[in-house]
Structure 1
Amino acid sequence: MVNVETEILIRRPREEVAEYAANPDNAPEWYDNIHSAQRLSAGPIDVGSKVAFTAKFMGRDLNYTYEFVEYVPGEKLVMRTAQGPFPMQTTYTWAEISGGTRMTLGNSGQPSGFSKLAGLLMPPMIRRATRKDLQKLKSILEGDAAL
């Protein structure tokens, strides 16, 4: 079982951080490994929305679809994918704290088959990658190009 959680303080209002991070169109800008995101559902993001992502992980291109299974705007977003050798759930939470927003990014999943062995190596890799991604998100939102 892989279960990795990282967090960061972003010195911007919670609503702005959550709106930007929850928008899958922005994912390629702040996720280093995500190269594209395509909405498969019309309308605003909500429970049941689906998004196809193309990412690079461990030197391989991965195509996967996340379904939004829980969404409380400004508070929490849970996305889940079931296809492929490594079903994954990603959870974002946003909390208002003095000086800005604490964003938590969690990834959990249960690798199967060959991925089971890779699953032993994945937690430190995922932790490193998500820390880097959250740092990039922080830079984007706190920088001159902030919303």
Structure 2
Amino acid sequence: MEPVTATVFIARPREEIAEYLSDVANHPEFKDHFLVDWHLTREDSVGRGAGVRFREKLPLNRFGWGDYTLVEVTPFRVVERGRSGKFNRNRTMGTWTLAEAPGGMTRVEYRYESEGNMLSDRMRESRGWWKRKTAKSLRRLQSILEENRDRGGRVTVAGR
């Protein structure tokens, strides 16, 4: 699937946003409208190596389980790498890029890529669905960080 990109401007310092994103237990707060049944893959949910497992609510998807692990965490970038689909054979990557913007704002860009190995996997991918859900998750992230509202639950090792 071609990469899906969404951008939002958040009135918070870049370091604060990077710290929030580097804790994968926070991710269900803004992604739980399309990713459900979250579980941590290790006890420590912060920093490089922290990971989660979840189920995608993609319509007509029999093999909706996926996971990702943080592989790079800096004040400028947070990178997630994972797998999804049948037998976890599809590689995925999410990249959060944080840049300072005028007026004390931070430009937050999220880029999601998925690489289906087989024709059936590539046919299952719905770029439009991912684009809509990604854009909504960034709007929710903005409202959480700026106004402290729309907060969902934090994920734990054994689920919620």
Identity %: 27
What's the CA shift for 1:111?
1.3
Name segments (4+ residues, structure 1) moved above 6 Å. Answer: none
Aligned partner of 2:133 in structure 1 is: 129
- Cα-Cα RMSD: 2.3
What's the CA shift for 1:125?
1.7
What are the superposed Cα offsets for residues 59-81 of structure 1, whole Å, 9 maximum, x if unpaired? 54722221222221x21111111
Answer whether contact 2:95 2:111 (CA < 8 A) is retained.
Answer: yes
CA distance in structure 2 between the partners assigned to 1:24 and 1:127 by the alignment: 21
CA distance in structure 2 between the partners assigned to 1:49 and 1:144 by the alignment: 24
Aligned partner of 1:63 in structure 2 is: 65
CA distance in structure 2 between the partners assigned to 1:57 and 1:138 by the alignment: 24
Unaligned runs of 5+ in 1: none
CA distance in structure 2 between the partners assigned to 1:49 and 1:28 by the alignment: 14
CA distance in structure 1 between the partners assigned to 2:41 and 2:129 by the alignment: 29
CA distance in structure 2 between the partners assigned to 1:65 and 1:135 by the alignment: 22
Aligned partner of 1:96 in structure 2 is: 100
Asked if residue 118 in structure 1 is aligned to residue 118 in structure 2, the reply is: no
Give 2:79's aligned amino acid.
V
Question: Number of residues paired by the alignment?
Answer: 143
Relative to 1, partners in 2 of residues 1:137 and 1:59: Cα closer, same or farther, differing over 3 Å? Answer: farther
CA distance in structure 1 between the partners assigned to 2:2 and 2:89 by the alignment: 13
Aligned partner of 1:16 in structure 2 is: 16
What TM-score results when the alignment is normalised by the length of structure 2? Answer: 0.76
Give 1:68's aligned amino acid.
L
What are the superposed Cα offsets for residues 25-61 of structure 1, whole Å, 9 maximum, x if unpaired? 1211111212243222233533333322233222547
**What SS does the aligned partner of 1:128 have?**
helix
Answer whether contact 2:54 2:65 (CA < 8 A) is retained.
Answer: yes
| Structure number with higher strand proportion | 1
Unaligned runs of 5+ in 2: 151-160
Give 1:118's aligned amino acid.
R
